[in-house]
Amino acid sequence: MVIRTVLTALTALTLTAPSGFLAPIEWGGGPLTVDALPGVVYTAHRGGALEVPENSMSGLAAAYERGTAQVIDFDTRILRDGTLVVMHDATLDRTTYETGPVRELDGDAWQDVLVRPGRKLPGFWIPERPPTVAEVLDRFGGRIMLMLEAKDPQSLKRLATLIRSRGLTRSVFVNSNNPAVARQAHRMGLLAQLWRSKAQMRADRPEHWASYVDVLDVDYKARDSDLLRAVNSGIPRVWAHTVTTPKQRDRALRLGCNGIITDAPGLLSRTPIEASASAALRTRRGAA
């Protein structure tokens, strides 16, 4: 019998199966896939890092339970024994109570790491162990679209195994800043996402990636001309990162982006889209 503990801002969500591992709640007819996404997509970046402890299980669960995004994003690192864990930085220093390189730990040592919630976060958050990638896939896979960034490219084969074994190849975007990694992910049958910085976008020719990139993840701070080149590249999904204000969102939508990656999904969901951006969206939908 599956037991659920529903998340609030004060408590972590747990999902326990008889054998004691984290497992997905019933999927009904099958896992949610990329084909179910709406015309404009909101992604909770690291769970919504201005609103929850980034890359924590309780933060990711809050993003899911609040329903303010259609995609949940998290970062992945590989430990020395091959265990894949959820962590952005190469070191533990910024977001946990520990210090030193993530790569020096093994799965057993990871059990002693605790996320240090940011002092400026709304609400009260209890320190907790950062999850493994397998735990996140088991908890949310098929219930909402996931986006994971492979911070260590050598982990791609292990990530592919975890995703494939759970039947989630159409439910998880695999993100990288490296076009070669995106191409490799595509060849593995995964959904490939490629992110680019403002500086990179000045020289990029994104149409060269249209055959293998499912999502082009662009810096909202880029020049109008660079964003427009990305939007017109032939890549079906162009999502702007990392947006924190409605003004930033509305500019990206006016220029043709069809997704927003944000640290503040709650704020954006409460703030209506500006009239000119809404008109641009209606025009694009009518043309489609």
Beta strands in the chain (DSSP E): 3-5, 14-16, 41-44, 71-78, 84-86, 145-150, 172-176, 191-196, 215-219, 237-243, 259-262
> Could you list the mean pLDDT of each consecutive 10-residue stretch along the chain, which spans 288 residues?
31 30 45 96 98 98 97 98 98 98 98 96 97 98 98 98 98 98 98 98 98 98 98 98 98 98 97 95 84
pLDDT at residue 287, rounded to an integer: 80
CB atoms inside a 10 Å sphere around CB 74: 28
* Prediction pTM value: 0.90
Contact between 199 and 177 under an 8 Å Cβ cutoff? The reply is no
Its CATH architecture, for the domain 41-79+131-286, is Alpha-Beta Barrel (3.20)
Tokens of 197: 């910085």
pLDDT at residue 30, rounded to an integer: 78
Q: What is the CA radius of gyration of the chain?
A: 18
pLDDT at residue 284, rounded to an integer: 84
Closest CA to 114 of 127, 101, 125, 99: 127
Nearest 10 degrees: Cα torsion 199, 201, 203, 209? 140
